[in-house]
Amino acid sequence: MALLDIRNLELGIARGSELLPVVQGVSLAVEEDETLGIVGESGCGKSLTALAIMGLLEGTAVRIAGGTIHFQGRDLLALSPEERRRVMGAEMAMIFQEPMTSLNPVYRVGDQIREAILQHRSMSGRQAHQRALDLLELVRIPDPMRRIDSFPHQMSGGQRQRVMIAMALACDPKLLIADEPTTALDVTVQRDVLELIRSLQARTRMSVILISHDLGVVSETCDNVAVMYRGRIVEQAPTSTLFSNMSHPYTLGLLGSIPALDHDVEWLDAIPGRVPTLDEAVPGCAFHPRCFAAQGACRTVDPGAAAVSPAHFVRCHFPQGSSS
Amino acid sequence: MTRPLLEVRELKTHFSIGRRGFMRRKSVLRAVDGVSFSIHEGEVLSLVGESGCGKSTVGRTLTHLETATAGTAMLDGRDILNLSPAAFRPLRRDIQMIFQDPFASLNPRLSIEQMLAEPLFIHGLARDRSEARERIAATLELVGMDANSMSRYPHEFSGGQRQRIGIARVMILTPRLVIADEPVSALDVSIQAQVLNLIKRLQRESGMSMLFISHDLGAVRHISDRVAVMYGGRLVETGMKRQIFETPRHAYTQRLLASIPRLGKRIG
């Protein structure tokens, strides 16, 4: 049984009496000790899917319109808010792109980590302090005895992200959701943080969902990848399969958009046009107005997900061949 | 490539940062600390480095958004760093800047037409409104926008379209040197590619020179002729694009290149 099993998740934004769909028919599974990458551009629904898993959509305009989210066999969407809170933070945790907005600027980082621990565990203040020190050491903050008394603004962006990871790990979560965890960081710091997440995972066997716009980051860190476009998963496969046999024109377009580092390309194979806004209804396949392979059926019929090989699913009428 | 259009020698831009405590001395931040490079006519030089290395300050100093502490920047045999604001003003047409968010400094109540007409009138490039409109329509088409968009307002456009309009505002002046500071960093991957292609095409067609400031090494490889790598306020390595990417000499350049996540490689 998968640790996390999402079936046909539907999310919508309430607009008057209408519900504009923002996530449609998303099905995902994450096994223990596995890293799943979710790739897509802004507005594709990758972050909203994560917030739905974490139960953080309450108080927003986003509504869950259908589907199930099973975590360790329990349907999270059927739990009461109270039960939900107990699972959150203790068994799953989330880190965000900009740690400064998640850390409280007026408290020392040690106090914030201790608070995260004491929310979910009963232990003395002294034990919590020791646990906070251990966690700072675990995320490789140099000189934790001194840094535990630092304020967030006294730390670099990379160190703040490490503190966020320490807080997320406070209760040994089974699932860590990292939403663009390195997007705001310099590349050399990004490398260190990605390696840290990998090594922590190897140690604790936790599962990770890594949300990113960067195919390179996902390629280097994930076991499986789901590519999202306008609320749907358009392609999903084990990472090595995906990168050796990309089938969806959108995935290929993303790849073509990235300038190469090891050879010169005259012009990038950019995807034409832009993502339609939520108000613009697109009949048929949502990608067809930008797609080089679009034909008649694409303009009228929304394609279902079909397997091109075992464990490799594509939502496209004309998936591209293995030669491309 | 011909003679250098711009020749920067030993540029320094220092900032004094607030004194801590009443009797303490002010401390100095050496954002740019002795940088030299030249840009030839029709050439694209990239300035690459991580946050805080001083790369943006170089561009801002050359356009008088910051004041140089020392050094010279010769354009047509004239040092542009020592010019008074009044003497520099006419040069602003020749040296234009593309920002990450071009609309951050523009009035959101202005229509696109008003926004693009403003620089034309300031620099005396259009006599009347109909002449300006003609030029605006042509420039919008040049950047891949419909000429009808001139009657619309900034909030009606997506990030990629806004950057196209920002680029139009620069290109309408036919500048000789464009300083582009992270022009695609805020855009989605697929839109980044469109805008990078656009900037490259416009540079080729117009023959303008460009200083391309970026942390994104892929974008830098795509667009430049030469690359300068900056670290801690200084240039650690300058070379032809292929040399920098294929045989980097400085340890920092090597580390930077090794840090970029690659497709089909796995860490851990």
- Domains located in chain A, CATH noted: 4-91+171-314 (3.40.50.300), 100-170 (no CATH)
- How confident is residue A98, by pLDDT bands cut at 50, 70 and 90? confident
- How confident is residue A80, by pLDDT bands cut at 50, 70 and 90? confident
pLDDT at A277: 85
Dihedral (C-alpha) A85, A88, A94, A100: value to the nearest 10 degrees? Answer: 40
| C-beta separation of A170 from A193 below 8 A | no
At residue B109, what is the residue type? R
| C-beta separation of A42 from A70 below 8 A | no
φ, ψ (nearest 5 deg) of residue B232: 55, 40
* Residues of chain B numbered 28-47 and touching chain A (CB < 8 Å): none
How many A-B residue pairs are in contact by the CB < 8 A criterion? 120
Pick from A202, A220, A269: CB nearest B262: A220
Contact A186 B196 (CB under 8 A): no
Is A57's pLDDT higher than 60?
yes
Is B16's pLDDT higher than 90?
no
Instruction: Looking at A62-185, list the stretches that DSSP marks H as alpha helix, in order from N- to C-terminal side.
Output: 81-87, 99-102, 109-120, 125-138, 144-147, 157-168
- Least confidently predicted of A7-16, A80-89, B174-183: A80-89
- The CA distance from A80 to A241, in Å, is 39
Neighbour order of strands in the sheet with A207-212: A92-95, A175-179, A207-212, A35-39, A224-229, A232-238, A312-314, A306-309
Pick from B50, B192, B256: CB nearest A257: B192
Is A147's pLDDT higher than 90?
yes
Indicate which of A47, A222, A257 best probes the interface with B, i.e. most B CBs within 10 Å of its own CB.
A257
- Least confidently predicted of A95-99, A270-274, A296-300, B153-157: A95-99
Is A313's pLDDT higher than 80?
yes
3-state secondary structure of B210: strand
Taking residues A48-73, what's their average pLDDT? 93
pLDDT at A58: 85
Contact B221 A259 (CB under 8 A): yes
| C-beta separation of B206 from B173 below 8 A | no
Contact B50 A213 (CB under 8 A): no
- Would you state the structure tokens that stand for residue A248, as one six-digit string? 């969806």
- How confident is residue B265, by pLDDT bands cut at 50, 70 and 90? low
Contact B256 A188 (CB under 8 A): yes
- How confident is residue B21, by pLDDT bands cut at 50, 70 and 90? low
Contacts of B242 in chain A (CB under 8 A): 264
In B, minimum Cα distance to A201 occurs at B268
Q: Looking at beta carbons, which pairs linking B231-240 to residues 24 or more positions away fall under 8 Å?
A: B231/B49, B231/B50, B231/B53, B232/B33, B232/B53, B232/B54, B233/B30, B233/B31, B233/B32, B233/B33, B233/B34, B233/B35, B233/B53, B233/B54, B234/B33, B234/B34, B234/B35, B234/B54, B235/B35, B235/B36, B235/B37, B238/B37
- Would you state the structure tokens that stand for residue B200, as one six-digit string? 């490259």
pLDDT at A247: 96
How is residue A296 annotated by DSSP?
Answer: G
Residue-averaged pLDDT of chain B: 93
Is A89's pLDDT higher than 80?
no
Contact B196 A272 (CB under 8 A): no
Q: Tell me: the pLDDT tens digits for A256-284?
A: 999 999 999 999 999 999 888 888 889 99
Q: Comparing C-alpha atoms, which of B42, B41, B45, B43 is closest to residue B3?
A: B41
Contact B189 A217 (CB under 8 A): no
Q: Tell me: the pLDDT tens digits for B32-88?
A: 999 999 999 999 999 999 999 999 999 999 999 999 999 999 998 899 999 999 999
3-state secondary structure of A174: coil
Is B1's pLDDT higher than 70?
no
- Least confidently predicted of A266-270, B18-22, B178-182: B18-22
Q: Comparing C-alpha atoms, which of A229, A320, A284 is closest to residue A26?
A: A229
In A, minimum Cα distance to B199 occurs at A267
- The CA distance from A174 to B199, in Å, is 46
- Would you state the structure tokens that stand for residue B228, as one six-digit string? 């300068």
Q: For residues B21 and A259, which has the higher predicted lDDT (pLDDT)?
A: A259
pLDDT at A119: 85
Q: Tell me: the pLDDT tens digits for B137-160?
A: 999 999 999 999 999 999 999 889
Q: Tell me: the pLDDT tens digits for A211-266?
A: 999 999 999 999 999 999 999 999 999 999 999 999 999 999 999 999 999 999 99
- The CA distance from A221 to B16, in Å, is 42
What is the predicted ipTM?
0.88
Cα B98 to Cα A11, B105, B191, B211, B224: the distances in Å are: 38, 12, 16, 10, 16
Contacts of B256 in chain A (CB under 8 A): 187-188
Is A323's pLDDT higher than 50?
no
φ, ψ (nearest 5 deg) of residue A188: -70, -35
Residue-averaged pLDDT of chain A: 92
Q: A263: distance to nearest CA of chain B, Å?
A: 8
Is A203's pLDDT higher than 50?
yes
Q: A201: distance to nearest CA of chain B, Å?
A: 10
User: What beta strand segments (E) does chain B contain?
Assistant: 4-17, 27-40, 44-48, 70-75, 78-79, 95-98, 177-181, 209-214, 226-231, 234-240
Contact A187 B265 (CB under 8 A): no
In A, minimum Cα distance to B215 occurs at A186
| C-beta separation of A45 from A228 below 8 A | yes
End-to-end CA distance of chain A: 35
| C-beta separation of B251 from B258 below 8 A | no
| Cα A138 to the center of its chain, rounded Å | 23
Is A322's pLDDT higher than 60?
no
Give residue for tokens 């929304």: A302
Q: Comparing C-alpha atoms, which of A57, A77, A67, A31 is closest to residue A174?
A: A31
DSSP letters for B146-191: -GGGGGS-GGGS-HHHHHHHHHHHHHTT--SEEEEESTTTTS-HHH
Q: Comparing C-alpha atoms, which of A197, A240, A247 is closest to residue A94?
A: A197
- Least confidently predicted of A298-302, B202-206, B262-266: B262-266
Contact A259 B196 (CB under 8 A): yes
Contact B158 A267 (CB under 8 A): no
For residue A186, how many other CB atoms are within 10 A of its CB?
Answer: 20
pLDDT at B27: 83
- The CA distance from A269 to A258, in Å, is 8
Sort A250 into a burial class: Cβ within 10 Å, 0-12 / 13-18 / 19+: buried
Is B253's pLDDT higher than 80?
yes
The pLDDT > 90 percentage for chain B reads: 85
Is B20's pLDDT higher than 80?
no
- The CA distance from B257 to B262, in Å, is 10
- The CA distance from A154 to A117, in Å, is 22
Contact A186 B160 (CB under 8 A): no
Q: For residue B150, give every residue at least 6 positions away whose Cβ sits within 8 Å of its Cβ, in sequence order, or none.
A: B111, B112, B113, B116, B133, B136, B137, B140
- Would you state the structure tokens that stand for residue A61, as one six-digit string? 């305009």
In A, minimum Cα distance to B261 occurs at A216
Kindly give the pairing relationship between strand A312-314 and strand A306-309.
antiparallel
Neighbour order of strands in the sheet with B78-79: B27-40, B4-17, B70-75, B78-79
- How confident is residue A324, by pLDDT bands cut at 50, 70 and 90? very low
